[in-house]
Amino acid sequence: MLRIYVWGYLAFLAFPILIITLFAFHASPALTFPFEGVSLRWFADLWADPNFVSAFKNSVIVATVASILTSILGTMVALALIRLSPKPRAALSFISFAPIALPGLFIGASLLVLFDRLGIYRSLVTVILAHTLFCLPFFVEAVRSRVAYFDLDLELAARDLGATRWQAFRLVTLPLLLPTIIGGAILSFALSFDEIIITVFVVGEQSTLPFYILSLLRRTVTPLINAASVLAIIFTLLVLMLAGTVLWWQARREKSARIGEGVVG
């Protein structure tokens, strides 16, 4: 019964995606059955729309910059957590987890008020800052599990051998954590690329891909929405597959290292 429930749950989640994908290739603009043929006309019309191309580029730019900022800040936070005593560590962990617990509606409204008070004009810069705040807790949680097993004595050994703090971090700590950091950065990219709730509050005149899809929905339901959604889903899946490959490579590398240590021992 549990297996039936799991497969039924997965089918329930996948069914809307399958329907969207099916009608994205429908030759007729009617979003009803029977199916009248397969066509790529809606994808062609979509790429011919300069607003879609601009929104897609903006989403890629925002997600890329936000993932880079998240990786830098999140790595610093994760490394700081293992160096703190238990009480400050618990307090910082609670604060860093807050954006996950709070609804995106509250975060977006709060950032809108903050940017308005500071006199910051809403643009892609404000979207990048908001997405960095949104993705940071997820990155910290993903990296902290790996950092928790990091042996600080390795840095001390590098310092004893004459390395500076920066050299110890660059030559010892960073290579060991790099696969996890890359995986967290890819996850942050995927989260930022699909984010819409916070984006609605902080976006300016320029649009992102989810905001472009939302603007289409405000007018009427057209096959262009299905085509844009399919492209967004495919792009996100490719990013997540890349993250899974990185994490698999990391696990295989650690397994090989453990086997090597056992052979040496």
- Cis preceding-peptide flag for 223 (omega within 30 of 0): no
Distance CA 123, CA 206 (A): 7
Specify whether 93 is located in the same domain as 220. Answer: yes
Has residue 264 been placed in a domain? no
Distance CA 152, CA 235 (A): 38
The pLDDT score that the predictor gives to residue 130 is 92
The pLDDT score that the predictor gives to residue 68 is 93
The pLDDT score that the predictor gives to residue 66 is 93
Which residues, 6+ apart, have CB-to-CB distance to 28 below 8 Å?
36, 37
Is the model's pLDDT at 261 over the cut of 60? no
Range ranked top by mean pLDDT from 30-44, 55-69, 163-177: 55-69
Has residue 52 been placed in a domain? no
Q: For residues 181-206, give the mean pLDDT.
A: 86
Has residue 50 been placed in a domain? no
More confident residue, 227 or 127: 127
Here the CATH number for the domain that contains residue 215 is 1.10.3720.10
Nearest CA among 149, 154, 110, 151 for reference residue 130 = 110
Specify whether 26 is located in the same domain as 145. Answer: no
Has residue 222 been placed in a domain? yes
Using pLDDT thresholds of 50, 70 and 90, give the confidence band for residue 1.
Answer: confident
Task: Tell me which residue range forms the domain holding 112.
Answer: 65-254
Has residue 233 been placed in a domain? yes
Has residue 57 been placed in a domain? no
Has residue 265 been placed in a domain? no
Specify whether 79 is located in the same domain as 29. Answer: no
Nearest CA among 65, 99, 96 for reference residue 78 = 96
What are the tokens at 80? 């700081």
Specify whether 219 is located in the same domain as 169. Answer: yes
Which residues, 6+ apart, have CB-to-CB distance to 165 below 8 Å?
159
Specify whether 75 is located in the same domain as 3. Answer: no
Specify whether 13 is located in the same domain as 77. Answer: no
Q: What percent of the chain has pLDDT over 70?
A: 93
- Report CA Rg, the chain: 23
Distance CA 200, CA 116 (A): 15
Name the domain count of the chain: 2
Specify whether 95 is located in the same domain as 6. Answer: no
Specify whether 191 is located in the same domain as 122. Answer: yes
Cβ–Cβ < 8 Å for 180, 86: no
Distances, alpha carbon 116 to alpha carbons 32, 119, 121, 199, 208, in Å: 45, 5, 8, 15, 21
Q: Which of 3-7, 42-46, 146-150 has the lowest mean pLDDT?
A: 146-150
Has residue 167 been placed in a domain? yes
Specify whether 155 is located in the same domain as 244. Answer: yes
What's this model's pTM, rounded to 2 decimal places?
0.79
